[in-house]
Structure 1
């Protein structure tokens, strides 16, 4: 399966109280061609990961309304689109929304660690779409088991396409859902709700990052520090 074929399959999915960013249009925030831009973003990411022969997929639970719902790139908010493109080998991600850029705390922590690792890694979610409460499109909820089962083939297709050596489950929900896979899965605490330090320590150990060196890093840009420290919604 090619990245374009995979993204086309994603765009075919539809379910109640679920936003499909690669097919649907948000009347509140999206530009007219938003879904097409998000399809292009994800296709470029997949192509870059394949070109780099990335060996790992990080998988969280589901898309958040401040992150992947807007960008089409899992675990990535608009603040980090350019940063993500640079780390993925210099590819170009485009904004699909209008108005001010929106930050997400989880994305800030994820991309801070990815910058320290310095290698392309595929980011994904057990349920790859944005589940929300009925009549509240800009809310987050956990996907249901039936929703996960309905999209399980998509995750299997992604794994078959990328053939990762290892999967990192981000958060307990993702860890439990991925327990059915035969590929070795390393668990990491989700960086939200006080889990930031534990998440970073797990990733530093996994990739052999010197903790002392990370403490000497330059300060993050202002908008990224805000995304890390403020109470934004979590992916």
Structure 2
């Protein structure tokens, strides 16, 4: 565990955090980290707590997903992480841990929300020797106009305008040793940036077993 590395990296990532905070809500996309909203401040706080737990492991692998979903990242601020995972006990790497670790819900609820893809991804991560850094290509939650609790695919224009600049900034500041895409959108964005990356099957729509096999193979190759 390298806590000094984590502190240095959080400082280095400050320009990237600044980019995330510049986004505002749109008619068909929620800004996740808008500092002018209470929800945005809570998500940003949760994200920084999570990175403070993750970065001491010095993750050398960066996984680029697609877009935040309404049952996961939109509610937590942490990619591939539902309320149920975030507010549950810490995992084998010391990630998450609920209120004891400082995490907060945007809205109190009688039942914590879960998300299938988040559950699959976090379960597979528990099989790895070191957790990767996971981040979505598109940094907002895209939804159908007027339907907050829905998901939609980002348009090519949105990816060029919003995904590529923040993704390029994250990669340049974090400098991962290995990069992989989880799904088509992540792979498309990485190709646009000229980044050589492996493509993993997205865990949604029955892709969990293929995602698991691909990630385990990737991590085995990385560790050889």
**Under a length normalisation based on structure 1, what TM-score does the superposition of the two structures give?**
0.77
The 5 Å alignment of 1:99-138 reads: 99=109, 100-138=111-149
More contact order relative to length (CA 8 Å, sep ≥ 6): 1
Alpha-carbon shift at residue 148 of structure 1 (Å): 1.2
Unmatched tracts of structure 2, length 5 or more: 1-10
Quote the Cα distance in structure 2 between the aligned partners of 1:94 and 1:4.
22
Quote the Cα distance in structure 2 between the aligned partners of 1:150 and 1:138.
24
2:71 to 66, 70, 73: 66
Contact 2:71/2:115 (<8 A) preserved: yes
Contact 1:62/1:127 (<8 A) preserved: yes
1:112-151: CA deviations, max 9, x gaps?
Answer: 0111114231111111110111111111000111111122
2:22 to 12, 15, 21: 12
Q: Structure 1 residues 184 and 173 mapped into 2: Cα distance closer, same or farther (>3 Å)?
A: same
Partner in structure 2 of residue 228 of structure 1: none
**Under a length normalisation based on structure 2, what TM-score does the superposition of the two structures give?**
0.80
The 5 Å alignment of 1:1-235 reads: 2-14=12-24, 15-23=26-34, 33-82=38-87, 86=91, 89=94, 92=101, 93-99=103-109, 100-151=111-162, 152-208=164-220
SS in 1 for 2:71: coil
Partner in structure 1 of residue 8 of structure 2: none
SS in 2 for 1:208: helix
Unmatched tracts of structure 1, length 5 or more: 26-31, 210-235
Contact 1:189/1:195 (<8 A) preserved: yes
Contact 1:7/1:43 (<8 A) preserved: no
SS in 1 for 2:112: coil
Q: Structure 1 residues 80 and 90 mapped into 2: Cα distance closer, same or farther (>3 Å)?
A: closer
SS in 2 for 1:200: helix
Alpha-carbon shift at residue 58 of structure 1 (Å): 1.1
> Mean alpha-carbon deviation: is it higher for 152-161 or for 46-55?
46-55
Alpha-carbon shift at residue 181 of structure 1 (Å): 3.1
Q: Aligned residues, how many?
A: 203
What root-mean-square deviation, in Å, do the aligned CA atoms of Structure 1 and Structure 2 show?
2.5
> Mean alpha-carbon deviation: is it higher for 187-196 or for 169-178?
169-178
Quote the Cα distance in structure 1 between the aligned partners of 2:76 and 2:14.
17
Greater than 6 Å deviation, 4+ residue runs: none
